[in-house]
Chain A
Amino acid sequence: MRPQAGAPLSRRRFLALSAGGAAGGAAALSGCAMQVSTGVSGGSGETVTLMVKPEDISPELVKQAKKDTGITIRRVDYDITKLIAMLTSGNPPDLVRAVGATDAAYFAARGVMQNLDPYFAKSSVLRPDDLDPVNDLWRYDGRVQGKGPRYGMAKDFSQDSMYWYNTAAFDKKGLDYPSETEPVTFENWLESAQRLVQRSKGQTTVFGGSYNGQTKITLMAALTASAGGSLFSDDFSRVDFTTPEARKALAWYIGYCRLNVGPTPINPAPQGWDGPSYQAGRMAMSNNGYWMGGMIGADKKLAQVSRLAPAPVFAGGPRISACQGGTGMWMPRKAKNKDAAWRLFEWYFGEAPAKERASSGWGIPTLKSLRPLIPDEEDYQKRTLRTQENELKHFSVVSLSPYITGDGFESLFNQVTPAAMKGEMSVDTLAGRLNSLVNEQLKRGKEQVG
């Protein structure tokens, strides 16, 4: 039993390792490898470990990577605990997926990320002047997210405060469609949601609207920015939910949850996200950015009745349309196989897979040069693109704190908000509770980073 099970594995490992060792010589002959600062070539015959989610890279793409770059991809399921254990044991993956908005500053501040500026400087595929501003989510200067060296890159993005709506649902209730270029106010949005919701026997047959952001930390930060304030203090070491702007944002979201017009943390969407309900015509408005067009476009009937609308604003507040995601990859500082990993990075973010993603409509490409690939043959594609291009003018990076993770914030947020969502706690009490909980974690985080 033991030899059969253990031996082939270690043999495979051994082969992979020896192939890595021999790669220097082999790659010199193959000529396809990129020369980078270290002088060791990436490319042919090497194995690169990718810690990703299944949707990040399909088995077909793994095969294609081998064909295009000669690099063998070893996939490891993304799991934060596994990642941390791999980092501490000095055996990290070569590339790791992460959400730019919420993870980049966190990891960068802990010094585990490789500064990619030297690699970008030499790359002919990923040129800095070709990078969309959304990639700034992956920059961190030791203090603020959005400036300083680049630690990674987004694979695609959306402006996640926007929303899609279903014209059929609006027609049914005789409501005017929202404008494609001018934002509604959050208050109006909520009023429409109340009029659009359809219920029967305790079941919500059609959700009036769903507005939950990508994660709670990005949602709260973006809402507060829309109200004209900032959730975090200047040095990101504290939050304050009691400022007029943050309180306004919090009150709006809690109000949304109390009205029960769409999925909320205490009454989550069936199957975990808006997609299936929206697709089944059971959701009038869904807070998702451009990327959901990928799903919508695959269903012609749905595409006919779907419109993308600008991110709402607060009355009198600034017009802000942030990216709350920016999922991409970074390279651990202690990665064993950096050059091959960079070659794969270039391929993934700038070559065939990037082009494929761009033309699928599942998000906006993160290289300006790939913009022309965005699908725009059909009417609904043109319409969506028009709205999106207009919205890009209002793009901005909402910086988050490096002292707390998105999951950490979400967990604390979910500990205390349900009472308020059920109406058992006032928004002011909630703001106070959130302040003490989140600030405690921020303080610990800051001590740890030093």
Chain B
Amino acid sequence: MTVDQVSSVADRPRSTANARPARSDTRTGPSMTTRRHRAFYMFTSPWIIGFALLTIAPMAYALWLSFTTYDGISPNWHYVGLGNYRELLHDAQTWDSLGRAGLFAVISVPLSIIAGLALAVLINRPIKARGLFRTLLYLPAVVPPVGAGIAFKILFDQNTGAANGVLTFFGFDAIGWLADPYARYVLIMTVLWSAGNIMIISLAGLQDVPRELHEAARIDGASAWRTFRSITVPLLSPVLLFQTVTGVIASVQTIMPMLLAANPTTGGLTTIPQSNYTYMIHVFSEYFALGRYGYASALLWVLFVLILVATGLIFKFTSGVVFYNVDPEAKK
């Protein structure tokens, strides 16, 4: 869903003006155009102004900080040019934590999309009490992170949690879920827990899939799996792409490792097990534990650029695969 692909109705008259001479531009003359232009900026100004003041300004400030050794209170901070960027390239922690964050995204995002899709297909079968099941499966997705963090901490407590209760009941050894190396699985499970979100969106898509398509496929003798793969998935692909992109961004930014830590405040960052020490947590540590605002700002700018590149790549590689049926204008 690149910018070109979603370019709106309002842009179209220009490209099709020749074909349809009766369109507004030619009919009402330049004053009409000026009015539209002015109106456009009137409507978009809240976002433009807000973006400049609340995003660009702080970002620029962070960029400036990333060239300094600023730590908030020390009197002798100074400009170091690209020093912070050079340092982070040579810091093993940067790469280790980035690798962990990347691995977390690469595992948790597809898993939760598959899970969400599977749930949607499951719930789309003719079953009794569908509304109840749908609601129960969906509700965890709206539990706020703080609630989820507390719930999972209690659930996976090594000695008193239900997870180990079940394991020991079946004769297995208990596991230190919230410590290395298992903490990463708990982190992934918190993401899977909210797969209901993807289920709901996919379900809406599934129910919109034109019935004729399914019937045609059935008459052709296509198996359920083939119908799913060649009709359902392509029709859902824009949703899935959108979920992938937002999922990756959310997973990179997640503060869940902090909420799962023994001490869920910025002072407790050091209690986060190594397997959950993601890039964002590394940034937090540099920020809060070591007070290196300059260095942490450099880390954040690197992350920002990486995310932009990753998103661009996702769009690029899926542009041939993702299928857009609903042309907004065609809807009328």
Contact = CB atoms under 8 A, between A and B. Distances in A.
A87 B174 contact: no
B74 to A, nearest CB: 3
A413 B289 CA distance: 12
B111 interface: no
Contacts of A450: 75-76
Interface string B63-76: 00000010111111
A354 B253 CA distance: 43
Interface in A396-422: 405, 407-408, 410-415, 418
Interface SS of chain B: helix, strand, loop or mixed?
loop
B157 A84 contact: no
Contacts of A1: none
Interface residues of B, number: 42
Nearest to A204: B159
B75 A111 contact: yes
B72 A84 contact: yes
A233 to B, nearest CB: 20
A405 B265 contact: no
A418 B3 CA distance: 46
A80 interface: yes
B114 interface: no
Contacts of B270: 216, 407, 410-411, 413-414
A85 B268 CA distance: 19
B303 interface: no
A55 to B, nearest CB: 13
A10 interface: no
Interface string A265-283: 1111111110000000010
Contact of A110 (B75, B285, B288): B75
A437 B39 CA distance: 58
Interface in A111-150: 111-112
Given A81-B266, A407-B289, A408-B289, A203 B158 contact: yes
A411 B265 CA distance: 14
Nearest to B273: A266
Interface in B158-197: 158-160, 164, 168, 171-176, 178-180
Nearest to A449: B74
A202 interface: yes
Given A407-B289, A411-B289, A268 B157 contact: no
B62 to A, nearest CB: 14
Could you say which of B73, B271, B273 has the most chain A C-beta atoms within 10 Å of its C-beta?
B73
B302 interface: no
Contact of B69 (A110, A267, A407, A444): A444
A415 B273 CA distance: 10
B207 interface: no
Contacts of B268: 272
A393 interface: no
Contacts of B266: 79-81
A270 B289 contact: no
A447 interface: yes
A30 interface: no
Interface in B217-266: 262-263, 265-266
Contact of A448 (B71, B160, B168): B71
A448 B287 contact: no
B72 A203 contact: no
A448 B69 CA distance: 8
For A205, A273, A414, the residue with the greatest tally of chain B CB atoms inside 10 Å of its CB is A414
Contacts of A411: 269-270, 285, 289-290
B77 interface: yes
B274 A110 contact: no
B283 to A, nearest CB: 12
B176 A267 contact: yes
Nearest to B73: A110
A88 interface: yes
Given A202-B173, A270-B158, A418-B180, A447 B69 contact: yes
A238 B239 CA distance: 55
Contact of B288 (A407, A441, A449): A407
Contacts of A444: 69, 292
B268 to A, nearest CB: 8
B227 to A, nearest CB: 46
A405 B269 CA distance: 14
Nearest to A410: B270
Contacts of A412: 290
A142 to B, nearest CB: 13
Contacts of B159: 203-205, 270, 282
Contacts of A418: 180, 274
Contact of A203 (B164, B178, B263, B291): B164
B267 interface: yes
A45 to B, nearest CB: 31
A301 interface: no
Nearest to A448: B74
B33 interface: no
A270 B154 CA distance: 10
Interface in A249-297: 265-273, 282
A67 to B, nearest CB: 31
Contacts of A110: 73-75
Interface in A70-115: 79-81, 84-85, 87-88, 107, 110-112
Interface string A173-213: 00000000000000000000000000001111100000000
B318 interface: no
A37 to B, nearest CB: 26
B93 interface: yes
A408 B290 contact: yes
Contacts of A112: 73
A267 B290 contact: no
B262 A449 contact: no
Given A407-B289, A413-B270, A448-B77, 12 more contacts: A81-B266, A81-B287, A81-B288, A110-B74, A203-B158, A266-B179, A267-B179, A272-B268, A272-B271, A408-B291, A411-B269, A444-B292
18 contacts: A80-B291, A84-B72, A88-B73, A111-B75, A203-B173, A266-B179, A268-B178, A268-B179, A271-B262, A272-B268, A282-B159, A407-B269, A411-B269, A444-B69, A447-B69, A448-B69, A448-B76, A449-B76
The 5 residue pairs across chains A and B that have the minimum distance between CB atoms? A202-B173, A448-B74, A84-B72, A272-B262, A411-B289
Interface of B: 69, 71-77, 93, 157-160, 164, 168, 171-176, 178-180, 262-263, 265-271, 273-274, 285, 287-292
